[in-house]
Amino acid sequence: MLASIIASGLAIGAVYALIGIVYNTMYSASRVMSFTAGQIGMLGGVLGSLFILRMGLTPIIGFLLTLAVCSAIGVVTEIVAVRPVLSKLDQHLYVLTTLALTMMIQQVTAIEWSTEPQPFPRLFAIGERGPFDQRFWLPLAACAAVFVGLEFLYRRTLIGHAFLAIAEDNYAARALGLPERNLRVASFALSGAIGGVAGFAAGQLLLAFFANGAMLSFYGFVPIAIGGLGNNRGAVVGGLALGVVQQACNFIFGGIFASVAVFLVFIVALLAVPQGMFGMATVRRV
Amino acid sequence: MQITRRGLTLGAPLAVAGRAAMRRARAADASPILIGYPAALTGPSSAPGVGQNRGVTYIVDRINAAGGVKGRKIQMVTRDTQGDPTKAVNAVQEMMASDKVHAIFGPNNSGEALATTPIVARRGIPNIHCCGITSLIDEKKFPNAFRQTPNNDQSSDPPRIYCQKILKLNKVAVIGDSTGYGTSAVTDSVNNFKKNAGDVVYQAQIDATQPDMMPDMLRMREAGAQAIVPWTVSTGMIARLLNARGAMGWDVPFVGHQAMGSGEVGHLLQKPEYWNNVFNEGFKNCSLDAAGKLPARTQDFVDHARGKMSLVNTSLWWIVSAVDAIQLVADAVSKTDSSSPEAIIGYWNTLTKYPGLFADYTFSPTQHNGFPSDELVMSVASSEHDGAYALAPGYT
Amino acid sequence: MAPNVDQPNVDHIVDMAPAASNRALAGVLHAAMPFMLVLACAVALPFAANDYWTLIGTRAAVYWVLVSGLNLVVGFGGQLAIGYVALLTVGAYTASILVLGKVTQPWPAYAAIVAAGAMGAASGVVIGLPALRLRTFYFAMTTLGFATIVTQIVLAWQSVTGGGIGVPGPALPAPFDGTAGLYFFCLGIAALCTWMTANIAHSRFGRALVAIRDAEVAAEATGISKTRLLVPVFLFGGAAAGVAGALFATLQSYITPDAFTFDLTILFFIAILIGGRGSIIGPLLGTIILTVLPEFAAPLVAWSTFLYAVLLLVIVLAIPGGIAELLDFANRKPLESARAIIPRPDLLAGLLGHGGVHEPIALSGVTLAFGGVHAIDGLDLMIRPAQVHGLIGPNGSGKTTTLNVISGYNRPDSGRICFGAHDLGHRAPRTRAGLGIARTFQTPRLIGEASVLQNVMIGGTIDGTATFLESLLSLPRHRRDEAVLRREAMLAIRAVGLESLAAVRADRLQHSELRFMEVARALMLHPCFLLLDEPAAGLSADEILRLGELIKKISRRGTGVLLVEHHADLIFDICDHVTVLNLGRELASGTPSEIRAHKEVVSAYLGA
């Protein structure tokens, strides 16, 4: 019993963590937080189901196609909702452009896919294993792989260093001759792919359901808001903790009070520590 | 059926002209009978509307092909409300004030129906309802509103009776989703159990988007539930509950809402056998007997309709109840030779055991809930065939 | 602020001489014209159309009641409160429950509407408060969170709210019970809300809201307190939304939680953006369009959310000015190209020299480091009244940082900044305005969409005496404030030489003109000290001369000036005292002639 709560809590938490990393990846390249983070996660599940169950492709091909499309959506986010706003005086407008894009993705999915949750295929032909079932460990494995992969990328590769330089100070990076815009597009593609991985790995748990996007946008944001924006470690720790706490609340209190509790904790925590626990200091204003 | 909305390019002047023309035409006897149909045809709560609309389209075409009602064609004034009460209020007002409809069928969703009923009542337009909220029908306040489907009180009975009388289980968990329908249906069902010496050991509203229902299932088992009575239209939530039940190896029966028999649930189950021991509410006239046959009247309709309309991916009762609703209006006009509100309402108030496809309706000036409770049954959730279900074990 | 759409022509209102009061009245009428037009159409509606269109009209009026309040929060204040539908819910349920008599004796409908407004106001503050601490996206998320919580509470609190089954909405007694009656009632409230928001928009509160939206730093420098400004605005916005909720419940006749959809909240939001931020007539038209359009496009209803989203995207990216900008004909007239800035320092007498402060600002031992780099490293500085004190030095020597420390944007790590008995070191930037310390910025901080006059008037925000409520109702004290502010602002504008541009949108001005405008805004504080951050950058030689003259005259009226500048000529021309900084320390200090003779300065910096 405890095992099953922990298993599902960690699994859901891993999805939240991955969506948090999507937010972070977009943010570090552009200083923009995009509502689309959760929608891309939702699409990971819907596209996986579409390619494998409806179109009958093999899981590997389906996975790669899902990643490709999700990356493309990431790039579209950059081109449509982020790039035009960065050139404007009032950069807060990104809140509205990404919200608009989010609504468009969700509505198209609802109409063209279904408003009912659709099944997601079992990826490995092994039996149901209780708390150790693939639908629980897949998101965790995906989260671990993405986290380690990103650490490797940022620490060991040239392009990773370039990403970090942009994140650190994008004017300076541009002055150094880094192709700031291309790097930003690349990180949005990367974040799209991460969202795709998240949704695909969580497909069996969350099902291919259009309303998952809004849910993930919020719950994926909670860990980074509390942990600190731009910090992947904070996202992972916060995400996993959130998942387990949420499942525990579901078990202890039951019903809808758990989600209300999460909202309240989120708002209070934010008010207490607006920068997040591992957040950065305020930027210079004058 | 015909969507009689103006297109984007047409403005109000044209509409006014059209309406004037329509009014002139009505002086003659061949004017169409206009039935307003505000329905959720798209969006997350559109499943019943989509099914009903098939029935509506079919029966309107059939009546009109046969020459209409005493020479008058039936014309539907349909407007998609998406289940949104504000759109429904706008829709009925337009139907009454601009289109001058003779009767209104729906709307379906509780929030919509609760809001539109008083507004329609102010103009006294005959209104047939297919929404279950018990308080919706009030013969004094809304003498124009009639219901042809079971109300939530009636709907609470069969699962309770099935648990108590046939399964002989009295400790139940009553759960619902966190929508308006879920919360109200749970309340009604719990009260129904308590009134009849049932033991509700667990009662909860569950967030339908919750990815794993294991914690809730564990809580119900801990509480000592012998049967689970779910009230939700969320197929995802039902499937997750059933998957959790299967994973726990807990063979507790599920006895409740019709949606448990939806094909969407079947797709989402990890194993087909997880659908066993699940009983959804059904209707005698839409239930298959041991030989796989429907009752004669319904079987006849299905045989006629097959090929002319799709019977898959919906429930038969949505189709036939909508057919009945249109037929009720058509018969009122035909029998009284008038499409005035007084004539239609007056006719309906005289009906005793009116033989519909869905049920035999009985209305009187003091009773506008026309659906007889004894038509309600439980059925086997996994037995769906062309929208009909096999009777649950224990019924004859 | 999009001027001239909803605002009187400036020429008419600046000059409040008695002879001109008729013209002023004409200006007001001119500004009110579009509103009168909308109102006339609205009044005619029930006579020209059937109940259906009257219902749609009622809906538009109800939505506008909410949007008018939200417009101050979003359109003027720039606070992205997305989840405002939560307040509509609160108001609707408050009124319905009170009239129903579930918790108390049944209330009369009108009292219940007032109570809904009160509950809305309280909830508006709760929803809005995070804006004082959080960044935009975070704030947007919390408002969405509130919207969810409110729905869940309504569902769960069945004994009072009826849960999923809901409650009947309040019914108004005659003569407001029928379709047309309710329409006129809602129209009346909508008109009242329009008038009140217009009063706020044309008050120091409205201008300050736009200032914190577009130029938050400048707003702080003029002493605007975000908290004190936003709390009444959230109260008013919440009250309007609460009343709108009560009317919504009446219109719907019955409310359930599913009536308060996310689409509704998006509709409110888009109405404001379509209309144009900082305008009133624009969002009013936006609300009407968004309420009516779906009725003509009913077959497209399945795609309505998608279409709203497209609309939102297109507006934000393509026409950020919205309807208001399209209607802003006055600002399309080309400006005179060969115009010159001719300051009139003689007018300064009307603005400066009435204060009695003769104490210097004294910095002693101030240090400040950014990430280990010392921007200021033990600086002593004395800025005296009635003198121009020049601060020069190479890039990175700590000039602007010094200015920022004095005006409070950077807190020193150690050392003291004293102004008379006041220790300034750890006080927030907005406290400086009250002490008479004004400043300008290296990059002019301004509200592009507002006129020069409005920009300058922002400088005098803290001198206003009328409360928010007085401004809301346009009481005498509010009108007096406005007249005084306008007179002084016009004086300041003339003093710096921008008279001909007073009514022009600030973003149409040349860079040099903006610098003078910033000086005018600073003068509105009647400053004892004026801190100028490279005011001559980007100016022509002529303009620099005139600026120098103006600065000198300002100092002669008793105001101490701290001048951070690269133009050595200007410094040596007008300064009484010069301090040379290098690496955050004083390299030299003295009169211009002493500095000119200072060996190190000459070799290291002046390079002559």
pLDDT of residue C102: 82
User: Is C562 in contact with C389 (CB distance < 8 Å)?
Assistant: yes
Chains that touch A (3 or more CB pairs under 8 A): B, C
Greatest pairwise CA separation for chain B in angstroms: 70
Give the mean pLDDT of chain A: 88
> With bands split at pLDDT 50, 70 and 90, how would you rate the model's confidence at C9?
very low
In the structure encoding, which two tokens stand for residue B197, read together? 């010496």
pLDDT of residue A228: 81
**Closest listed residue to residue C79, CA positions, set C248, C277, C265:** C277
CB–CB contact C309 A92 (8 Å): no
Residue B23 has pLDDT above 60, yes or no: no
Give the sheet arrangement for strand C560-564, strand by strand: C437-439, C529-533, C560-564, C388-392, C577-582, C585-590
Give the mean pLDDT of chain B: 90
d(CA B370, CA B378): 20
- ipTM here: 0.90
Residue C203 has pLDDT above 70, yes or no: yes
The partner residue sitting opposite A205, judged by closest CB among B42, B206, B211, is: B211
Task: Tell me the backbone φ, ψ of residue B135, rounded to 5 degrees.
Answer: -70, -5
Residue C17 has pLDDT above 60, yes or no: no
Query: How confident is the model over A72-76, as a mean pLDDT?
Result: 96
Query: How confident is the model over C528-541, as a mean pLDDT?
Result: 92
d(CA C305, CA A40): 18
Cα angle B348, B349, B353; round to 5: 75
User: Any idea which residue has 């509407």 for tokens?
Assistant: C113
Any CB–CB contact under 8 A between C583 and chain A?
no
User: Is A206 in contact with A5 (CB distance < 8 Å)?
Assistant: no
Residue C25 has pLDDT above 60, yes or no: yes
Q: Which of A156-160, A165-169, A170-174, C447-451 has the lowest mean pLDDT?
A: A170-174
CB–CB contact B182 C55 (8 Å): no
Residue C16 has pLDDT above 50, yes or no: no
- Report the percentage of chain A scoring pLDDT > 90: 55
Q: Under 8 Å CB-to-CB from C416, ≥6 apart: which residues?
A: C362, C363, C364, C365, C366, C423, C425
Out of C244-248, C533-537, C601-605, the most confident range is C244-248
Give the mean pLDDT of chain C: 89
Residue C253 has pLDDT above 50, yes or no: yes
d(CA C35, CA C56): 19
d(CA B311, CA B54): 9
d(CA A241, CA A228): 14
> With bands split at pLDDT 50, 70 and 90, how would you rate the model's confidence at A254?
low
Distance spanning both ends of chain B, measured CA to CA: 38
Q: Which position has the higher pLDDT, C239 or A156? A: C239
Query: How confident is the model over C230-244, as a mean pLDDT?
Result: 97
User: Is B191 in contact with B157 (CB distance < 8 Å)?
Assistant: no
**Closest listed residue to residue B72, CA positions, set B29, B125, B104:** B29
pLDDT of residue B5: 39
Any CB–CB contact under 8 A between B373 and chain C?
no
pLDDT of residue C4: 40
Q: Which of A258-262, B1-5, B18-22, B304-308 has the lowest mean pLDDT?
A: B1-5
User: Is A217 in contact with A38 (CB distance < 8 Å)?
Assistant: yes
C151-to-A50, B154, C88, C144 alpha-carbon distances in Å: 33, 28, 11, 11
> With bands split at pLDDT 50, 70 and 90, how would you rate the model's confidence at C336?
confident
- Report the percentage of chain C scoring pLDDT > 90: 60
The partner residue sitting opposite A251, judged by closest CB among B42, B215, B247, is: B215
Residue B59 has pLDDT above 50, yes or no: yes
pLDDT of residue A89: 64
Residue B275 has pLDDT above 50, yes or no: yes
pLDDT of residue C605: 67
Give the sheet arrangement for strand C414-419, strand by strand: C373-383, C361-370, C414-419, C422-423
Q: Which residues pair with B379 in a beta bridge?
A: B280, B391
Distance between A202 CA and the closest CA of chain B, angstroms: 10
User: Is B75 in contact with B144 (CB distance < 8 Å)?
Assistant: no
d(CA B283, CA C460): 75
> With bands split at pLDDT 50, 70 and 90, how would you rate the model's confidence at C14?
very low
- DSSP category for residue C19: G
User: Any idea which residue has 């999507």 for tokens?
Assistant: A22
C22-to-C18, C26, C28, C486 alpha-carbon distances in Å: 8, 6, 10, 17
CB–CB contact C296 B6 (8 Å): yes
> With bands split at pLDDT 50, 70 and 90, how would you rate the model's confidence at A277?
low
In the structure encoding, which two tokens stand for residue B185, read together? 């249906």
Q: Which residues pair with C585 in a beta bridge?
A: C582
Q: Which of A80-94, B85-99, B360-374 has the lowest mean pLDDT?
A: A80-94
Out of A60-74, A172-186, C578-592, the most confident range is A60-74
User: Is C532 in contact with C402 (CB distance < 8 Å)?
Assistant: no
d(CA C519, CA B242): 72
Query: How confident is the model over B13-17, as a mean pLDDT?
Result: 44
CB–CB contact C141 A221 (8 Å): yes
> With bands split at pLDDT 50, 70 and 90, how would you rate the model's confidence at C355?
low
Any CB–CB contact under 8 A between C49 and chain B?
yes
pLDDT of residue B17: 46
Q: What residues of B are in contact with residue C156 (Cβ under 8 Å)? A: 183, 205
pLDDT of residue C583: 86
* Helices A94-112 + A36-49 axis angle, to 10: 20
Q: What residues of A are in contact with residue C152 (Cβ under 8 Å)? A: 256, 259-260
CB–CB contact A4 B207 (8 Å): no
pLDDT of residue C607: 54
Residue A106 has pLDDT above 90, yes or no: yes
Q: Which residue of B has its CA nearest to C293?
A: B8
Cis link prior to C476 (omega < 30° from 0)? no
User: Which helix (H) or strand (E) segment is C588 a member of?
Assistant: strand C585-590
C-alpha gyration radius of chain B: 22
pLDDT in tens, B159-207: 999 999 999 999 999 999 888 788 888 989 999 999 999 999 999 988 8
- Where does residue A202 rank: exposed (0-12), middle (13-18), buried (19+ CB within 10 A)? buried
d(CA B42, CA A111): 8
Query: How confident is the model over C548-572, as a mean pLDDT?
Result: 92
pLDDT in tens, C149-169: 898 889 888 889 988 889 999
pLDDT of residue C596: 86
The partner residue sitting opposite B111, judged by closest CB among C256, C295, C300, is: C256
